[in-house]
Structure 1
Amino acid sequence: MRVRFRGVEVREAALLHGPVGWGEFSPFLEYQPPEAARWLAAAVESAWLGWPDPVRAEVPVNATVPAVTPDQVPAVLARFDGARTAKVKVAERGQGLEDDVCRVAAVRDAMGPGGRIRVDANGGWSVAEATEALRRLAAYGIEYAEQPCAEVSELRELRLALARLGIDVPVAADESIRKAEDPLRVAREEAADLVVVKVAPLGGVRRALEIVGDCGLPAVVSSALDTSVGMAAGVALAAALPELPYACGLGTVALLGGDVGVPSLLPHAGVLPVGRVDADEALLDQWAATPERHEWWRARVTACHGVLSGNRVDP
């Protein structure tokens, strides 16, 4: 990683090659097989089945600003060519609200009054903390707050609190969709104004499309620090949605210190093209894992395949 993001400094991924092309299997290291298996299903869909037909040829993307200091903000934004929307990490462990306010203020200064800013707390606030934080951050023009609280009940309570106080910041659900046994609960309980969907954690492009359709809420497509191979699946989802009202969080290849895909899916003029990405053999050699990590990932694929086939094998 160019910049530490959500505690990650080195991103690991396994790539699968099938009759249709390449797929990426890259659940974060702490995810156990029952959760990680959905990521394998998405990789299999990509490499063996392919994706639904697109309805658009390019997808607008946002810049992603990790929990950096204000002086680092301009350099981070410069990696996202032409992006007029920025997602800013807040509620970082070890930091406080003043850090968040200063970071968001720096993003507003860098982007000017016409830029859009959204914040992502990854469920790190209580309802009271989120209410106070969004009260202060609203002064900078916040497009929405992504997963400000961890629980669906808290998101609903927060939406009601913001409405009572006249704080006009929509609430987006991310983890409450992609990590939930019941991803439709947020819509039933009116706990969010929009949903953030990621292909891999939901089990593939088709499954993600179903969830968006069933929720009946506006959707933002985001990524999980994928290589360009995995990012292409996110772009395929965004390209297949009937409506795409928001810029998508699919520009994070710019946060990586290297890539394995050709072409590398870096944003230009604020957009990404729709299409498949092939892994490059020379880049695969350059970024190859150690033999020990290779075997660890092979065992992980085997364990997750066991979950998908109903024959669970623990790694």
Structure 2
Amino acid sequence: MPHALPLPPLDDLTRDAHVVALPLRNRFRGVDVREALLVEGPNGWTEFSPFVEYESAEASAWLAATIDFGWGPAPVAVRSSVLVNATLPAVDAALVPGILRRYPGCRTVKVKVAEPGQSLAHDVARVRAAREFVGDSGRVRIDANTNWSIDQTLEALEALAPFALEYVEQPVRTVPELAAVRDRIAAEGLGVPVAADESVRKATDPLAVARAGAADLLVIKAQPLGGITPALRVVQDAGLPVVVSSAIDTSVGLSMGAYLAASVPSLDHDCGLGTAAMFTSDVTREPLLPSGGAIDVRRVDVDVDLLRASAAAPERREWWLARVAACYRQLEQR
């Protein structure tokens, strides 16, 4: 993905950067502590937080987003707040009400399913508890993070049919498999839309899933797509409804996502940007926590004392600085 902005000097990205390690309230996709690098650009604070297993070629898009938000043109927002969903990790059903109460006013719940080591019965119990919490008027969506086969997806959707799913997100790994799932859902009359996430943010061609007719809507994230401007191009070119989401960001990264969501002309689905509620601490005294089912669209003022309190170990800071340098070299070559 080409980087349109002139690159600031590498020293501007690393000299005063802070690396934080924020504990999660509940384990989420195998993560107990989320690390992120934060730096202040001319526009304000910005975030670099690709998951640690990503190589520099993939992570460089996240650095392009860091630069875009900190040094690039200001996005044009068409709304001042964004409705968000509650995010439910793959927890025991008994824990569901306590977790969802951290998302006051949220009418939608995204439920993690297909967790390695768990069964479909666990998923059914968790989705049932989520539906009971939000009631008949609420919305329940599920996210399998590519962990099902086509047949497993259909089996799960049949088992979860009583709970009136809003959509199923990325049940299988590839675009052809997504297309096959969508065809099978139509053939069997299950009526559950298919959303693509990994097939957008981890793809060399984020529009391939739309061209293949393999999804009913797209999950869009600012950092993996290189920033707000390129993400908006994907939205425009795909021509499908979108859900703007995050990747367990700090409130700084969520601010980037909020500005992206605020810039999408038509936004019919609640967005996955309420995840500050998943942390035990944050980097600001005014985190982007859901209130009345929404978060504000605003820049975040980082608190230096909180940065220090959440600082990662020195060797982790050095690892992140080296990672920025490696990704920077990738961007220089584009």
Which residue identity is paired with 2:35?
Answer: E
Match of 1:27 among 36, 46, 50: 50
Kindly indicate whether residue 109 of structure 2 is the aligned counterpart of residue 117 of structure 1: no
Match in the other structure for 1:201: 224
Separation of aligned partners in 1, 2:206 and 2:103: 31
Corresponding residue for residue 16 of structure 1: 39
CA contact (8 A) 1:80 1:267 kept: yes
Question: Distance between the aligned counterparts of 2:129 and 2:74, measured in 1?
Answer: 39
Q: How many aligned residue pairs are there? A: 311
Alpha-carbon distance in 2 for matches of 1:10, 1:168 = 37
Q: Can you list the C-alpha shifts for 1:233-255, whole angstroms capped at 9, x where unaligned?
A: 00000000000000000000100
Mapping of residues 267-306 of structure 1, within 5 Å: 267-306=290-329
State yes or no: 1:87 paired with 2:110.
yes
2:158 is matched with 135
- Greater shift, 42-51 or 165-174, is seen at 42-51
Q: Does 1:126 align with 2:149?
A: yes
Measure how far apart 1:262 and its partner are: 4.2
Q: 1:21 to 1:280 in 2, by over 3 A?
A: same
Distance in structure 2 (CA, Å) of the matches to 1:204 and 1:280: 24
Aligned residue number for residue 27 of structure 2: 4
Indicate the RMSD between aligned Cα atoms, in angstroms: 0.9
State how far apart, in whole Å, the 2-side matches of 1:232 and 1:65 are. Answer: 21
CA distance in 1, matches of 2:110, 2:271: 10
Aligned 8 A contact 1:51 1:236 in 2? no
Structure 1 window deviating more from structure 2 (275-284 vs 28-37): it is 275-284
Find the residue that maps to 1:149 and give its secondary structure.
coil
What are the Cα deviations for residues 130-183 of structure 1, in whole angstroms up to 9, with x where unaligned?
011011112101000000111100010011101111001000000000000011
Amino acid corresponding to residue 301 of structure 1 in structure 2: V
What is the CA–CA distance in structure 1 between the aligned matches of 2:278 and 2:252, rounded to whole Å? 15
Give the equivalent residue in structure 2 for 1:77. Answer: 100
Q: Hey, what does 2:122 align to over in structure 1?
A: 99
The answer on whether the counterparts of 1:23 and 1:46 sit within 8 Å (CA) in structure 2 is yes
Match of 1:237 among 260, 267, 272: 260
Alpha-carbon distance between aligned partners in 2 of 1:244 and 1:190, rounded to the nearest angstrom: 20
SS at match of 1:167: coil
- SS of the residue 1:278 aligns to: coil
Give the whole-Å Cα distance in 2 for the aligned partners of 1:218 and 1:304. 31
What is the DSSP-based 3-state SS (H/G/I as helix, E as strand, rest coil) of the residue aligned with 1:17? strand
Mapped to 2, the partners of 1:76 and 1:282 lie a distance apart of 27
- Partner of 2:42, secondary structure, is coil
| 1:227 and 1:261 in contact (8 A); partners too | no
| Consecutive unaligned residues in structure 1, runs of 5 or more | none
CA separation in 2, counterparts of 1:128 and 1:267? 36
Q: Return the TM-score normalized by structure 2.
A: 0.92
2:43 and 2:261 map into 1 onto residues whose CA distance is: 20
Distance 1:21 1:262 in 2: 16
What is the match of residue 88 of structure 2?
Answer: 65
| One of 189, 194, 199 as aligned partner of 1:166 | 189
Paired residue type of 1:306:
R
* Aligned counterpart, 2:179: 156
Shift of 1:278: 2.1
The aligned amino acid for 2:26 is V
Read off the aligned partner of 2:254 and give its amino acid letter.
M
Equivalence for 1:47: 70
Report what 2:13 is aligned to.
Answer: none
For residues 40 and 22 of structure 1, what CA distance do their matches in structure 2 show? 13
Pairwise CA distance, 1:50:
4.4
Please tell me the residue identity of whatever aligns with 1:291.
P
Give per-residue Cα distances to partners, 1:83-136, cap 9 Å, x unaligned. Answer: 010000000011111110010001111111111000000011100000110111
Equivalent residue in structure 2 for 1:184, among 194, 204, 207: 207
Q: Is the 8 A contact 1:138 1:168 kept in 2?
A: no
Q: Runs ≥4 in structure 1, deviation > 2 angstroms?
A: none
Gaps of 5+ in 2: 1-23
Q: Which AA in structure 1 matches 2:112? A: K
Shift of 1:81: 1.0
Specify the alignment match of 1:249 in structure 2.
Answer: 272
Q: CA–CA distance in 1 between the matches of 2:232 and 2:241?
A: 12
Please identify, of 122-131 and 259-268, the stretch whose mean Cα deviation from structure 2 is larger. Answer: 259-268
1: CA distance, partners of 2:306 / 2:49: 17
Q: Are 2:271 and 1:259 aligned?
A: no
